[in-house]
Structure 1
């Protein structure tokens, strides 16, 4: 099932007004694609519960991911705009981008509302 462009326009991503529709679709699909892998979803959910952020090693320990794989997953999530990183010396702390998750959730909630309005 595909969403027609006219329907998608009515689901414009909050905070993305003025951006071309194609950019919005690309942003949403990039984020959903990054979250479609179970380990990445676990990483995002774990980071969401640690406001102070976590190192890749601690994140791997908490999610059960291999440490080498955690770094790859974090790169995918960071490239999708779902995770940010901050370096302090040799340590890197990762945090979930709460605004990006809220924006994605708002978009999906809007889509669900449109679906529920259908006869």
Structure 2
């Protein structure tokens, strides 16, 4: 179960446009993840700036990294994401289903959106 300080750290990590874009990209990329260079190109940030963003997301428990040869591959930590979402629903709704009960019933809740 996620504790308040961990939730604050995760939300803080996502409260930046580039970090949110990186996280969304990695969630869509799936378990295979993406190399740092591809992430930098897709998000439009310099590699050294991206490194800082990736470090913050990693410390917040939202992404993982692994080395494959000379590349570092980053992927979303789906368990960390589920923990954060679960914390928000459980904590903010305080067990009142009339407030949050239908959140996961939204038809497009977990479906990838088409690129605009």
Residue ranges of structure 1 left out of the alignment (5+ in a row)? 1-12, 17-23
Match of 2:93 among 113, 116, 119: 113
| Inter-partner Cα distance in structure 2 for 1:28 and 1:96 | 16
Take 2:93 and 2:38, find their aligned partners in 1: how far apart are those partners? 38
- When normalised by structure 2's length, the TM-score is 0.75
Residues matched between the structures, number = 96
CA RMSD, 1 decimal: 1.7
Gapped regions of structure 2 (runs ≥ 5): 101-116
SS across alignment from 1:81: coil
In 1: Cα distance, 2:16 partner to 2:88 partner: 18
Query: Residues of 2 paired with 1:113 and 1:29: CA distance?
Result: 17
Structure with max Cα Rg: 1
> 1:90 deviation in Å?
1.3
